[in-house]
Structure 1
Amino acid sequence: MRRIDALNQLHVVTNQIAKSLGEINPSMNDDGTEKLEGINYMIKRRDETIKLLDEAMEKEGKDWTEDERTLLQQLSVLEEKIQPKLSELYSAFSDQMRRLQQGKAAANNYKPQKTAYSDGAFFDQRK
């Protein structure tokens, strides 16, 4: 693959990621897993494209043409938009995992460990 082709592909994939991140609700409450899986797939595609770009750079060198510089500047701008959104998404995901663990712990604490029945009365013997 030529270097300019790899840059164009990288630009397309990065645009798709930026667009998809813009459509996700930061709290992730309304979003299904398919949106997150789609973003994850695009990030993997972007990583593969970067590897192709590295290979093309080894063959063609690192002297960028004017068109390539323009694409690199656009990619830099997109990257500045994507990083905060990914950080926000990661934070929201971490919050959801924390709440899930808290709910799980509360449910486990509620389960009676030892119970005693006497004449139809229930005695909770947890300490």
Structure 2
Amino acid sequence: MRRNDALNQLHVVTNQIAKSLGEINPSMNENGTEKLDGINHMITRREETIKLLEEAMETEGKDWTEDEQGLLQQLSALEEMIQPKLSELYSAFSDQMRRFQQGKAASNNYKSKTATYSDGAFFDQRK
């Protein structure tokens, strides 16, 4: 792949990531898994494109044309917009996982210490 083609492909994928991140709800409760999987897939595609760009740079050199420099500046601006959104998404995901683990632990503690089930009857063991 030529360097210019790889750079254009990187620009397209990065724009798609930025657009998708703009559609994500920061609360995480309202995001479907397909949105998150889509962003993950685009990030993987971006990584692959960066590798292709690096390979093209090895063969064609690093002397950027004016058009390529313009694309690089646009990519830099997009990156500045994407990074905070990805950090926010990661933080929201971490909070959701923490709440899930806390709920699971509370549920397990309640089940094992306070109640007994026997033949459809419930016996509360709290004193």
TM-score by length of 2: 0.90
Q: Alignment identity in percent?
A: 79
Alignment correspondent of 1:101:
101
The CA distance in 2 between the partners of 1:99 and 1:28, in whole Å, is 12
- Tell me if the contact between 1:112 and 1:124 (Cα under 8 Å) persists in the aligned partners: no
C-alpha separation in 2, matches of 1:114 and 1:66: 71
**What is residue 15 of structure 1 aligned with on the other side?**
15
Partner in structure 2 of residue 41 of structure 1: 41
**Unaligned ranges ≥5, structure 2:** none
State the aligned residue count: 123
For 1:15 and 1:109, how far apart are their aligned partners in 2?
47
| Runs of 4+ off more than 2 Å | 112-116, 120-123
One-letter identity of the residue aligned with 1:124: Q
Could you say if the C-alpha distance between residues 7 and 115 of structure 1 is closer, same or farther in structure 2, counting changes exceeding 3 Å? closer
Distance 1:43 1:121 in 2: 50
Q: 1:44-65: CA deviations, max 9, x gaps?
A: 0000000000000000001111
Q: How does 1:6-85 map to 2 (within 5 A)?
A: 6-85=6-85
Distance, in Å, in 1 between the alignment partners of 2:35 and 2:124 is 48
Displacement of 1:112: 3.2
TM-score calculated relative to the size of structure 1? 0.90
Contact 2:26–2:89 at 8 Å: present in 1 too? yes
Per-residue deviation, residues 2-34 of structure 1 (Å, max 9, x unmatched)? 000000000000000000000000111111000
Check the 8 A contact 2:115/2:122 in 1, yes or no.
no
Q: CA RMSD in A?
A: 2.0
Between the aligned partners of 1:68 and 1:115, the Cα distance in structure 2 is 68
Q: Distance in 2 between matches of 1:56 and 1:15?
A: 21
Compute the displacement of 1:124 (Å): 1.4
Contact 1:18 1:78 in 2 (8 A): yes
